Amino acid sequence: MADTIGHTPVLLGETLRWLDPQPGQTIIDATAGRGGHSVAIAERVGPAGLVIGFDLDAGNLEYAGARVREAGGRFEGVHASFAQLASSMVARGWRADGLLADLGISSSQLDDPARGFSFMSDGPLDMRLDTSKGRTAAELLAVLSERELADLIFEYGEDPFARKIARKLTHARAVRPIGTTALLAQLVKDAYGSRARASRLHPATRTFMALRIAVNDELAALDALLDMIRRQAASDEAGWLSPSARIVMISFHSLEDRRVKQTFAELHRAERVRRLTTKPVTASESEVRHNPRARSAKLRAIEMRASRMDPE
């Protein structure tokens, strides 16, 4: 079922505006997903250009590649984390003129009960973006101490009831493993107790997000990507990014956006990049109406300085 599900790309017009892909260019889509952004980029770079797509999810990557090729574009897929982006590019002798990272998960992943990302439908508690390796959320829940669980839910989910939830989960798992999304959602709701009614979000929202971030080591991957960008910007030699490459990043929660914002500000202060957006670009009311996922999206963009000494 999941292979027919699409994904509405967020901030598509704004992404094209700031990435500004030109005919013949090579652009990296670090999170190819269902190919929404990739197809639009491929149309801009044309048949002489190339989209290099990365994704941890082999199904998504294949789907994105097929869509780009169907639209007449050229696509090279790399089934790897964007944490390995620079080494993968260098190993293949590739250089890009732009980079997009649209962080998080796609609707196809969220809506497929078998992937275990959603508390809206029951399924195995998996949550791995790359289903070929790594620990599932159920395995993680089984091995972390109560303290570690509480810290994880507090830090990554920013849930004020993290300690209560962790206590509930550790008591419950002593009786039977927490192996399904429905059971986890119910346990978190129970931990909230009467406060669940007052909560605007489903009480399990933050716990699910925290587990997903932990299972996929999402913040470490983002830090690795930002570090590669930092090193490339600091170098006077063109490496995997061409000298005036543009970089667009879209994040969906404050833990991600803070990292992107700080890195871009630091590079701007060091006069290594030109900041294209000083404030984050957000979705219009009409986009949010059509695609509620766009509500929390924040886009930031920079351009590498061709000559690092250029005045702005």
List contacts with ligand SAM (CB under 6 A). 7, 9, 31, 33-37, 54-57, 60, 81-83, 102, 104-106, 129, 221
Q: How far is the CB of 163 from ligand SAM (least distance, A)?
A: 29
Which one, of 98, 105, 46, 86, lies nearest residue 249 by Cα?
Answer: 98
Q: How far is the CB of 31 from ligand SAM (least distance, A)?
A: 3
Closest to ligand SAM by CB, 149 vs 297, is: 297
Q: How far is the CB of 178 from ligand SAM (least distance, A)?
A: 24
Which one, of 215, 84, 48, lies nearest residue 144 by Cα?
Answer: 215
Closest to ligand SAM by CB, 50 vs 297, is: 297
Q: How far is the CB of 83 from ligand SAM (least distance, A)?
A: 6
Closest to ligand SAM by CB, 110 vs 172, is: 110
Q: How far is the CB of 193 from ligand SAM (least distance, A)?
A: 33
Q: How far is the CB of 172 from ligand SAM (least distance, A)?
A: 29
The strand ranges marked E within the chain are 26-29, 50-54, 75-78, 96-102, 241-251, 273-275, 298-304
Q: How far from 195 is each of 126, 129, 161, 167, 203, CA to CA, in Å?
A: 28, 32, 10, 16, 9
Q: Sort 286 into a burial class: Cβ within 10 Å, 0-12 / 13-18 / 19+.
A: exposed
Closest to ligand SAM by CB, 89 vs 129, is: 129
DSSP string, 110-139: HH-GGG---SSS--BS---SSTTSS--HHH
| Composition of the chain by helix, strand, coil, percent to 5 | 50, 15, 35
User: What does the alpha-carbon distance between residue 138 and residue 179 come to, in Å, rounded to a whole number?
Assistant: 5
Closest to ligand SAM by CB, 58 vs 196, is: 58
Closest to ligand SAM by CB, 220 vs 270, is: 220
